[in-house]
Amino acid sequence: MTTSQNTRLDKPIRTSACLIIGDEVLNGKTVDTNSSYFAKFCFDLGVEMKRVEVIADDEGEIIEAVRRMSTNYDFVVTSGGIGPTHDDITYSSIAKAFDLPLTLHDGTWARMCKLSKSSKTNPPFDWETPSPMLTAKQRMALLPTGPNVQNVYISPDLWVPICIVGNVHILPGIPRIFEQLLQGLRPRLNVDSQNKQTRVIISTPMKESEIAGFLTNLQEKVKERGVKVGSYPRWGKIRNTVTLTGADKDYIESLVDEVEKGVRGLRVSVEGEDDAQEKPEEVTGVQATTKDGVKT
């Protein structure tokens, strides 16, 4: 019998993973922004995000992915597949993944009935008389049930729960609600405040190939202190970006002067903030062009 990894939440969260569920993402109809938001959320908490996967609305795919992620990572979030239609199968698939029954959750159903307001796109509805629409609405309150399951409501004005199965947190795919629920979950998360990450951004006019040797040596020097050195080309832009990331803020700050000199760069607060200081034709190794290929 497969069980959820509830013990992972009994100690500080260090690693995370995000599972995006939906055919609409894979066929290009919808662009996923939730994984990016989750990555920034985790970085701010000092949690290392290790994996993002996008999979179809397929029961077998969901079962395999959540079992594996639940085992491998401390904090797992899923996004999508919990609406009223036939292809919204996330709740039922995750229930099967952990051998749990799927039942109508009275608390969620009561909140849905109470908080669902009438509007032009949502006309008055009979919540008592059986109908195909009533059945469809109930699908959104059919949740995994068991001793390792929690349903968290982050606002008195929002009926949608965060259904937590062990260390798997099931969220909707609508970005506005995904973000609201994730922020509401934040005070409940057991994280190590000493692991909060610092990121320093240094803008450089040099090509990546010109600074590769310096950065390789720098990474070797700082890796034992838990610092990661990043190098990111910005195609069509004037400058490239070098980053220093880690939990030891004081140590990272002590490296800034050395790195600025090594890459002939300057520390910035936001990537690209100093782009306007140079002319487009001064882009290192790349000419800035319009969509028609005409030099700007």
Tens-digit pLDDT profile for residues 160-208: 999 999 999 999 999 999 999 999 999 999 998 778 899 999 999 999 9
Contact 246, 228 (CB under 8 A): yes
- Predicted confidence at residue 278, as pLDDT, reads 57
Q: Which structure tokens are listed for 63?
A: 């079962």
Average pLDDT for residues 66-74, to the nearest whole number? 98
Q: Which range has the worst mean pLDDT, 47-51, 112-116, 149-153, 257-261?
A: 112-116
Query: What's the rounded Cα separation, in Å, for the pair 241 and 205?
Result: 9
Alpha carbons within 13 angstroms on the beta-carbon side of residue 255 total: 27
pTM for the full predicted model: 0.81
Q: Which class is 198-268 in CATH?
A: alpha beta
Select the more confidently predicted residue: 52 or 290: 52
Average pLDDT for residues 16-41, to the nearest whole number? 97
- The residue among 237, 244, 243, 245 whose CA lies nearest residue 207 is 237
**Residue 285 pLDDT > 70, yes or no?**
no
Query: What's the rounded Cα separation, in Å, for the pair 242 and 226?
Result: 17
CATH superfamily of 15-118+128-188: MoaB/Mog-like domain (3.40.980.10)
pLDDT tens digits for 94-108? Answer: 999 999 999 999 999
Q: Any idea where the domains of the chain sit in the sequence? A: 15-118+128-188, 198-268
